[in-house]
């Protein structure tokens, strides 16, 4: 077993675009007993694969005399959806005080991707020895939890009879919200807009993360300060108050909470000073701002379908100039795209059965053109087992079809949209559909495709298009609504941007992981956007 010691200090693994942190809890069951006079003293070591080597990230504490340990120490990892994050959990029996792992007895290990763990939320697996055989009856249980407080607070604030600060008119009030910083000083969290010429302002409702406002602690004191705006920046102090989020939550739409706004200097000087006005909390609501990982941990499955372009412009697959020619290394640009996207997404589908469809070819026995056929030639069951199954079906079908045309996308988009529409009837965040279309050229049915994409934008569905070869892909860029809203030929606008297009040629000479990052970068946001738009929380979510 070749293990690498951790860099010192351990640096962050992965790209800087961290989605969030995941906490992993580890338990062992029926571990091997390596000690003669007592039971094993197990500890668990976490490794991550970095550039083909296992690098140690962290270790748990040692559980003394325990073959069924539940470790108190948790592993915390940055989670990146668009990467394959390979992890290894190795258990050892502590024999000496040495930090060198070869000094301790090996109790078994288990390897998987972080995606596999978060998509199941909790997994129990057999521990294996170095020879691949089970480590006795030893098992490991790994449970995942997102490490973030996703609560947000929405406040509607108003004022009444605030002090008049302007000589010739009324005040121009605004509010500032502060929380105590680590240094004991007040730290600005939020500033409202200015309401001009009034002593009875009504500010627009605003939403901030609860962690920002009070570090997620409902009883923590916060300070609200009211100023009169001056264009020269010398804003006049009207008054302030201290309260807690728990107190703010007493405000309901029917019964607002009223808090006195106090100017301490005036309070000291004037005996009959009452206040400098009233700050009114019209309503206070705490809700959860769910993340992509919340939906995955809640049980949402990503349903993956591949659509492959078999039009004549690809060239004869027997000839090396063809985009469908499988080179001596067993690959081509179509297969590279399938692997890049499929190996990430397959972790998020429990049965790992993926429909693989072709378009633009003539099929035996009558050689009619089809724009929506199962590449395994089984229309009733177009499913392939894992990414390997798609690759096998693709290679097997090539000699049996005739490349033809035209390049029609709409039939395959509508095919997946029908299943996505059925999923909406459950009215839960349980399924989201991803269609990967790999194509070499210009779309023939642009009007129908635009219409299909606009309709699909209302469904739990995203479309990834990978352009292979060196064709002009301007039409694909048009479908990818990053720069403008896509409209159908009738003028109807897409509800949201669901198409991500990348030309494969931009990724020919870079590590294969780079393509997956580029095509999957927008997907988590598209999943969250859809379910939020439908007001669907994760299936197993807790109330705020």
Q: Are residues 197 and 308 in the same domain?
A: no
- What CATH number is given to the structural domain containing 246? 2.60.40.150
Residue 318 lies in a domain: yes
State residue 121's pLDDT score. 92
| CA distance to 81, 100, 116, 361, 388, per residue, from 411 (Å) | 29, 59, 32, 13, 25
d(C-alpha 456, C-alpha 463), whole Å: 9
9 occurs within a structural domain = no
- Give the span between the Cα atoms of 105 and 93, in whole angstroms: 5
Q: Are residues 84 and 164 in the same domain?
A: no
Q: Which of 101, 131, 147 is the last residue of a domain?
A: 147
Does residue 6 lie in a domain region? Answer: no
Structural domain ending residue among the three candidates 257, 288, 319:
288
- Domain membership of residue 475 (yes or no) is no
Same domain, 237 and 258: yes
Q: Using a CB cutoff of 8 Å and minimum separation of 24, what contacts does 120-127 make?
A: 120/350, 121/297, 121/299, 124/29, 127/28, 127/31, 127/91
Point out the domain boundary residue: 288, 308, 326: 288
- Per-residue tokens: 279: 């700050």
Which residues, in sequence order, are bridge partners of residue 180? 186
Residue 525 is predicted with a pLDDT of 92
Per-residue pLDDT at 149:
82
Let me know whether 248 and 347 are in one domain: no
Tokens representing residue 498 in the block: 């669901």
Helix axes 410-424, 446-456, angle to 10 degrees: 10
Q: 325 and 245 in one domain?
A: no
pLDDT of residue 6: 40
CATH of the domain at 365: 3.40.50
Can you state the percent helix, strand and coil of the chain, rounding each to 5?
Answer: 20, 35, 45
Q: Is residue 294 part of a domain?
A: no
Asked if residue 423 belongs to a domain, the reply is yes
Which structural domain range is residue 187 located in? 151-288
For residues 160 and 283, state if they share a domain.
Answer: yes
Are residues 343 and 418 part of one domain?
yes
Neighbours of 298 (CB within 10 A): 19
Q: How many CB atoms lie within 10 A of CB 52?
A: 6
Residue 381 lies in a domain: yes
Which residues in 325-351 are b (16+ Cβ under 10 Å) and which e?
Answer: bbeeeeebbbbbbbbbbbbbbbbbbee
Residues 358 and 507 in one domain: yes
DSSP 314: G
Radius of gyration of the chain (CA): 30
pLDDT of residue 511: 84
Structure tokens at 277: 């006005």
pLDDT at res. 5: 38
| Predicted pLDDT of residue 481 | 65
The verdict on 421 and 327 lying in the same domain is yes
Q: Tell me: do 267 and 343 sit in the same domain.
A: no
What is the tally of structural domains in the chain?
3
In this structure, the answer to whether residues 107 and 163 fall within a common structural domain is: no
pTM of the model: 0.80
- 374/503 same-domain check: yes
Q: For the chain, 544 residues long, give each residue's pLDDT as a single digit of tens.
A: 343 334 333 333 333 333 588 999 999 999 999 877 788 999 999 999 999 999 999 999 999 899 999 999 899 999 999 999 999 999 999 988 888 898 999 999 999 999 999 999 999 999 999 999 999 999 999 999 888 888 999 999 999 999 987 667 789 999 999 999 888 889 889 999 999 999 999 999 999 999 889 989 999 999 999 999 988 788 999 999 999 999 999 998 789 999 999 999 999 998 899 999 999 999 999 998 899 999 999 999 999 999 999 999 999 999 999 999 999 999 999 999 999 999 999 999 999 999 999 999 999 999 999 999 999 999 999 999 999 999 999 999 999 999 999 999 999 999 999 999 999 999 999 999 999 999 998 889 999 999 999 999 999 999 999 999 988 888 787 777 666 788 888 889 999 999 999 999 999 888 878 999 898 988 999 999 999 999 999 997 777 6
In a domain, residue 5? The reply is no
């Amino acid at each position: 077993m070749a293990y690498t010691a951790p860099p010192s200090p351990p640096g962050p693994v992965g790209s800087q675009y961290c989605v969030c942190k995941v906490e992993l809890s580890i338990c062992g069951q029926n571990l091997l007993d390596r000690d003669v006079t007592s039971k094993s003293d197990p500890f668990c070591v976490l490794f991550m694969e970095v550039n083909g080597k296992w690098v140690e990230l962290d270790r748990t504490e040692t559980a003394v005399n325990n073959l069924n340990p539940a470790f108190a120490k948790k592993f915390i990892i940055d989670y990146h959806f668009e990467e394959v994050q390979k992890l290894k959990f190795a258990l050892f029996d502590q024999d000496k005080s040495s930090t060198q792992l070869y000094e301790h007895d090996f109790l078994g290990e288990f390897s998987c991707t972080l995606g596999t763990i978060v998509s199941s939320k909790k997994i129990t697996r057999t521990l294996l020895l170095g020879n691949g055989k089970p480590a006795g009856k030893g098992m490991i249980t790994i449970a995942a939890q997102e490490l973030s407080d996703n609560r947000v607070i929405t406040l509607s604030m108003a004022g009444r009879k605030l002090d008049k600060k302007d000589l010739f008119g009324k005040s121009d009030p605004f509010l500032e919200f502060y929380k105590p910083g680590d240094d004991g000083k007040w730290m600005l969290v939020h500033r409202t807009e200015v309401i001009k010429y009034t002593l009875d302002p009504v500010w627009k409702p605003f939403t901030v993360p609860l962690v920002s406002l009070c570090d997620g602690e409902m009883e923590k004191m916060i300070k609200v300060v009211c100023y009169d705006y001056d264009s020269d920046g010398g804003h006049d102090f009207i008054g302030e108050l201290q309260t807690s989020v728990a107190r703010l939550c007493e405000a309901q739409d029917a019964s607002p909470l009223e808090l006195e706004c106090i100017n301490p200097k005036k309070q000291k000087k004037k005996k009959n000073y009452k206040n400098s006005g009233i700050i009114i909390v019209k309503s206070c609501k705490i809700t959860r701002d769910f993340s992509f990982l919340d939906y995955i941990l809640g049980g949402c499955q990503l349903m993956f379908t591949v659509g492959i372009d078999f039009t004549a412009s690809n060239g004869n697959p027997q000839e090396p100039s063809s985009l469908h020619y499988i080179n001596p290394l067993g690959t081509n640009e179509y297969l590279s795209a399938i692997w890049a996207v499929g190996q990430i997404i397959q972790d998020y589908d429990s049965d790992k059965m993926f429909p693989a469809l072709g378009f633009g070819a003539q099929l035996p026995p009558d050689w009619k053109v089809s724009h929506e056929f199962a590449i395994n030639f089984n229309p009733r069951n177009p499913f392939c087992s894992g990414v390997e199954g798609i690759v096998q079906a693709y290679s097997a079908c090539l000699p049996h079809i005739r490349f033809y045309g035209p390049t029609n996308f709409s039939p395959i988009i509508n095919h997946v949209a029908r299943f996505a529409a059925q999923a909406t009837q459950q009215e839960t965040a349980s399924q989201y559909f991803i269609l990967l279309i790999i194509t070499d050229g210009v779309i023939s049915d642009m009007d129908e495709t635009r219409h299909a994409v606009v309709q699909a934008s209302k469904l739990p569905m995203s479309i990834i298009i990978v352009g292979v070869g060196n064709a002009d892909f301007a039409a694909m860029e048009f479908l990818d609504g990053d720069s403008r809203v896509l409209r159908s030929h009738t003028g109807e606008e897409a509800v949201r941007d669901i198409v991500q297009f990348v030309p494969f040629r931009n990724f020919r000479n870079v590590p294969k992981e780079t393509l997956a990052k580029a095509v999957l970068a927008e997907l988590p946001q598209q999943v969250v956007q859809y379910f939020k738009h439908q007001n669907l929380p994760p299936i197993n979510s807790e109330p705020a």
